[in-house]
Amino acid sequence: MNKNHAAGVPIRSYLTQVERPGRYIGNEINAIQKDFAEVDVRFCLAFPDLYEIGMSYTGLQILYGLLNQIPYVFCERAFAPAEDMETLLRTKNLPLFTIDTHTDIKAMDFLGFTLQYEHSYTNILNMIELAGIPLLSAERAKEETYPLLIAGGPCCYNPEPLADVFDLFLIGDAEDSLPLLMEIYRNRSIKSGAALTIEEREAFLREATKLPGIYVPSFYTPVYEAGAFHHFEKKYDDLPDSIEKAVVRDLDAAFYPEKPIVPLIETVHGRAVAEIFRGCGRGCRFCQAGFVYRPVRRRSKDRILEIIETQLQNTGYDEVSLLSLSTGDYPDIEALVLELMERLPREDVSLSLPSLRLDSLSESVLRRIGEYKKSGLTFAPEAGTQRLRDVIHKNITEEHIFRGVENAVAIGWTRVKFYFMIGMPTETQEDIDGIFDLAQRVSAHIATVLRETREKGKRNFHLTVSVSNFVPKPNTPFQWARGNTEEELKEKNFYLKDKFRALKNVQFQFHDTRSSFVEMMLARGDRRTLDALRAAVRRGCKFDSWREYFHYDRWLEAFEEAGISVHTEPYPDPSAPLPWDIINDGTEKDFLRKQWAMATECEI
Amino acid sequence: MKYILQFEKKGLMAYISHLDLQRVFLRVLRMTDHRPAYSHGFNPHPKLSIALPLSLGFTSDCEYLEVQSEKPWLTKDKDGDFVPVLKILNARLPKGIAFTAIYEKNAEQTKTLSALCIAAEYEMTVPNVTIREADLVQYLSREEILAEKRIKKTGKMELRNIRPLVYAFAVESLPDGSGVFRCKLAAGAQTISPLILLSAFFAESGMPLDVSEVSVKRTKIIFP
Ligand code: SF4
């Protein structure tokens, strides 16, 4: 039960003073309005980046629709304000607001953040501050007036860096657990008739821990031994020892937005999107998504087609995309693609099939896909040699790659992109050179093929090689791996960059090594990491994923101030307890240990 | 087939730009199965455009959207009106935008609306002012009114005589203490923002003006 119905933030008269005011007004096609007086729970879904970025996340549309489907909940949205808006809020002494009704976020019952990437942590801290809400749950617990802070999303598989901030985490799929959580809260708040008292809040949180995937970090106090995490002390005996992630078994029955919000301003993507399956069965050892989203659950072909068609009718989009970790692994991919093409005339709609493996489709289907407007085609060999691909368990051989690219070129694709990673466990100079060799051989091979076929207009073939920096992630076999130092990563990247200069037809891209290093520090952090985050925010760090805003020097100072060494590996010993062991993502730790041993034994 | 759809732009939609609004229209038309014609060539784009851009923050009573389509997509009801179509479209549009009328464009008219329009009328409401009509009349009787104006070619602000672009300028005081300024200005090939005129006038009269407190509404676009 919200405390303050009349908590409007008078932002309107300032809107002409900021860039792209459309970011802050809501009012989009399919956005939902409810009467404050008729709802019991007000929820603000916050995305810690700009509107244009957040609105392109399908996850945000799922949560928004899921919550608003509940008659007694009104879910609104907030985004990180751009710099001009933040300055305005600070100088006019105005709090952060929901874009849907310009309501003060403090008037919400829940403030929910989605944790998509570690680089958004500073924005989360900054948004909480802009909202005028005390950062730590312990500080908020002294008063009754603040919203409950909840987080979900992939980064929650190590919630510890933000554990002192959030009242609750929802680990895993939200579709079943979140509505149940709303119901528990609503029942308690109706009974209480006003804002929950401190005792009622505590009782609510205790009841919430009975739901799958709900973690209440304040109930668990970490105990450190010799400077490393050792175990948690539980506040109540009946609390679970580990939090089992929430899993939606039947995607066809699960909520999926059929009337997504259509932004009024241009965003990263404006297109109909159907998630075709969740999870990935491939088990690449570095891949967090591959482990934490298990098991693989597919949506039926009919349901996918229904979603796409309804979304197109309700949005007027002219682009369709399929969402999953690896499109080509959809069991019925050929039939799905054929039927999609059957129903969507290509004069009208463009179809993009990301991460599609070409060897999963027959020649004739490929030709038909080729008739659509072609976006770039991507391959992810990840490593330059077969040895390292075996270590990381990437099931792709050189033959796959050559055949795949050949097929693509034959049906008219002219742009292909390869993804690689550097800094992985057991990597040697040979593996780094292997990246260059592979790219060189592929582009030479295609040049020969094109010369032989002499087809006009198909003479241009463009290969892009994109190299990213390996970051060891929690809940993967590589969580014990030594991350490369910033210097090591930089040296490897520049070595490759130099080499690739000789290949005229190949474009070489690489990622900011300093930013990857900070990601590494945050990904395997524990509760003490928050001190570094706070110190970074105090120094003005925010929008860390935006190159122009990233300040490495400030980060190094922040870690130093927090007493966190950037030179030691956080948790290198597979037999030692890990702070994120509390999260049970369904994979046995022993299995991860075995995978880690197998990977490092491949080493020659 | 060319159609002209008249619409109003109100409330929060004032903060949506010209290009963004065109994209919104395109999507809403697609939702109702209406398709604009596309230009030919390497990068086909839909033949759909808003006649006259409106500054961010301004509202309007009457704007015009011009759409060309391959085949007629509007059916008239028994009274010969396009009304049912408008209702369907309006139900899909975001709050603040509504189509108010629809016309078939004369097939002989090859010029676009934006090429045709010559003037526009505006209404500017300024809180807490006292202005005498006589001051305005006197101001307007000058041959030269200098104001900073952005020059299209260079993008720079330059001092220009804007008097020839001002066709009418009047004020009415409301009981709540605010003043409503109405003006008719050149639009189209030669354009001037009503706020430039208003700022110039206030500066001349030695009165402070906070433009962020002025609400501006376009009330009419004039075609020959
Ligand atoms: S890297 Fe791709 S294929 Fe491998 S596990 Fe992750 S999502 Fe699956």
Say which CATH architecture domain B2-114 belongs to: 2-Layer Sandwich (3.30)
Euclidean distance between CA atoms A341 and A351, whole angstroms = 8
SS3 A485: coil
Neighbours of A131 (CB within 10 A): 22
Best probe of the B interface among A20, A27, A315, by most B CBs < 10 A, is A27
- Do B117-222 and B2-114 have the same topology in CATH? yes
The pLDDT value recorded for residue A327 is 81
List, for residues B102-127, the tens digit of each pLDDT value. 888 888 888 889 899 999 999 999 99
The pLDDT value recorded for residue A357 is 62
Cβ–Cβ gap A27/B26 under 8 Å:
no
A458 has pLDDT over 90: no
Euclidean distance between CA atoms B80 and B60, whole angstroms = 27
**Nearest-CB residue to B212 (from A14, A28, A316):** A14
The pLDDT value recorded for residue A262 is 97
Beta pairing class for B146-150 and B157-161 = antiparallel
- B45 pLDDT tier (thresholds 50, 70, 90): confident
Greater model confidence, B184 or A401: B184
User: According to the CATH classification, is domain A271-375 in 3.30.750.210?
Assistant: yes
Cβ–Cβ gap B92/A29 under 8 Å:
yes
A371 has pLDDT over 80: no
A421 C-beta closer than 6 A to ligand 1: no
- B224 pLDDT tier (thresholds 50, 70, 90): confident
A386 has pLDDT over 60: yes
Q: Which residue of B has its CA nearest to A317?
A: B27
A290 C-beta closer than 6 A to ligand 1: yes
> Which residue is listed with tokens 């455009």?
B49
B62 phi, psi to nearest 5 deg = -150, 105
Average pLDDT over residues A123-141: 97
> Which residue is listed with tokens 């970025």?
A53
**Nearest-CB residue to B12 (from A25, A262, A266):** A25
Average pLDDT over residues B200-204: 91
Q: Which residue of A has its CA nearest to B96?
A: A27
The domains of chain A are located at 12-244, 271-375, 377-528+564-604
Give me the torsion for CA of A434, A437, A441, A442, rounded to 10°: 60
Average pLDDT over residues A321-331: 86
Q: How many CB pairs under 8 A join A and B?
A: 64
- B154 pLDDT tier (thresholds 50, 70, 90): confident
- A568 pLDDT tier (thresholds 50, 70, 90): confident
Tell me, in angstroms, the distance from the centre of ligand 1 to residue A441's CA. 25
The pLDDT value recorded for residue A281 is 86
Q: Strand locations in A22-171, DSSP E?
A: 41-47, 73-79, 110-114, 148-152, 168-170
The 3-state secondary structure of chain B reads: CEEEEEEEECHHHHHCCHHHHHHHHHHHHHHCCCCCCECCCCCCCECEEECCCCCCCCEEEEEEEEEECCCCCCCCCCCCCCHHHHHHHHHHCCCCEEEEEEEECCCCCCCCHHHHCCEEEEEEEECCCCCCHHHHHHHHCCCCCEEEEECCCCCCEEEEECHHHEEEEEEEECCCCCEEEEEEEECCCCCCCHHHHHHHHHHHHCCCCCHHHCEEEEEEEECC
Average pLDDT over residues A226-251: 95
A454 has pLDDT over 70: no
Check if the beta carbon of residue A513 is closer than 8 Å to that of residue A490.
yes
Lowest mean pLDDT among A11-15, A83-87, A413-417, A500-504: A413-417
> Which residue is listed with tokens 């985490």?
A169
Output the CA torsion sign for A323, A324, A326, A327. negative
Greater model confidence, A554 or B102: A554
Euclidean distance between CA atoms A393 and A599, whole angstroms = 8
Cβ–Cβ gap A29/B29 under 8 Å:
no
Euclidean distance between CA atoms A154 and A114, whole angstroms = 8
Task: Report which DSSP code applies to A501.
Answer: T
Domain topology for B117-222: Alpha-Beta Plaits (3.30.70)
**Nearest-CB residue to B24 (from A16, A31, A264):** A264
Which one-letter amino acid corresponds to residue A288?
Q
Greatest alpha-carbon span in chain A: 79
Beta pairing class for B59-68 and B48-50 = antiparallel
User: According to the CATH classification, is domain A12-244 in 3.40.630.40?
Assistant: no
Average pLDDT over residues A60-70: 98
Tell me, in angstroms, the distance from the centre of ligand 1 to residue A190's CA. 45
The angle formed by the CA atoms of residues B33, B38 and B39, to the nearest 5 degrees, is 175
The pLDDT value recorded for residue A505 is 84
On whether any CB of chain B is under 8 Å from the CB of A17, the answer is yes
Please list the residues that pair with B180 across neighbouring strands: B125, B172
Tell me, in angstroms, the distance from the centre of ligand 1 to residue A328's CA. 11
Residue A425 CA to chain centroid, in angstroms? 24
Q: Which residue of B has its CA nearest to A100?
A: B12
Check if the beta carbon of residue A464 is closer than 8 Å to that of residue A458.
no
| Exposure b/e, A171-181, CB count within 10 A at least 16 = b | bbbbbbbbebb
On whether any CB of chain A is under 8 Å from the CB of B31, the answer is yes
Cβ–Cβ gap A264/B26 under 8 Å:
no
Cβ partners under 8 Å of residue A584, min gap 6? A242, A243, A244, A245
Greater model confidence, B130 or B84: B130
Lowest mean pLDDT among A104-108, A590-594, A600-604: A600-604
On whether any CB of chain A is under 8 Å from the CB of B96, the answer is yes
A280 C-beta closer than 6 A to ligand 1: yes
Q: Is the peptide bond before A295 cis (omega within 30 degrees of 0)?
A: yes
Average pLDDT over residues A61-81: 98
Q: Residue B36 has which token pair?
A: 């604009």
B57 has pLDDT over 80: yes
pTM comes to 0.93
A325 C-beta closer than 6 A to ligand 1: yes
**Mind telling me how many Å the CA of A97 is from chain B's nearest CA?**
15
Domain topology for A377-528+564-604: Transcription Regulator spoIIAA (3.30.750)
The pLDDT value recorded for residue B94 is 96
Neighbours of A151 (CB within 10 A): 24
A333 has pLDDT over 90: no
- A457 pLDDT tier (thresholds 50, 70, 90): low
- Do A377-528+564-604 and A271-375 have the same topology in CATH? yes
Residue A120 CA to chain centroid, in angstroms? 10
**Nearest-CB residue to A27 (from B29, B35, B95):** B95
Task: Report which DSSP code applies to A189.
Answer: H
Q: What is the mean pLDDT of chain A?
A: 91
A277 has pLDDT over 60: yes
Task: Give the whole-number percent of chain B exceeding pLDDT 70.
Answer: 98
Average pLDDT over residues A396-404: 87
Neighbours of B76 (CB within 10 A): 13
Cβ–Cβ gap B15/A21 under 8 Å:
yes
Q: Which residues of A touch B26 (CB under 8 A)?
A: 316
Cβ–Cβ gap A27/B56 under 8 Å:
no
List, for residues A176-188, the tens digit of each pLDDT value. 999 999 999 999 9
Highest mean pLDDT out of A137-151, A160-174, A400-414: A160-174
Cβ–Cβ gap B20/A264 under 8 Å:
yes
Check if the beta carbon of residue A401 is closer than 8 Å to that of residue A439.
no
The pLDDT value recorded for residue A604 is 39
**Mind telling me how many Å the CA of A62 is from chain B's nearest CA?**
21
Cβ–Cβ gap A318/B17 under 8 Å:
no
Check if the beta carbon of residue A248 is closer than 8 Å to that of residue A176.
yes
The pLDDT value recorded for residue A122 is 98
A602 has pLDDT over 60: no
The domains of chain B are located at 2-114, 117-222
On whether any CB of chain B is under 8 Å from the CB of A264, the answer is yes
On whether any CB of chain B is under 8 Å from the CB of A27, the answer is yes
A296 C-beta closer than 6 A to ligand 1: no
Euclidean distance between CA atoms A121 and A49, whole angstroms = 10
Tell me, in angstroms, the distance from the centre of ligand 1 to residue A562's CA. 35
Greater model confidence, B44 or B49: B49
List, for residues A478-499, the tens digit of each pLDDT value. 999 999 999 999 999 999 999 9
B76 has pLDDT over 90: no
Instruction: With CA atoms as reference, report the closest residue to B30 among A61, A272, A241, A500.
Output: A272
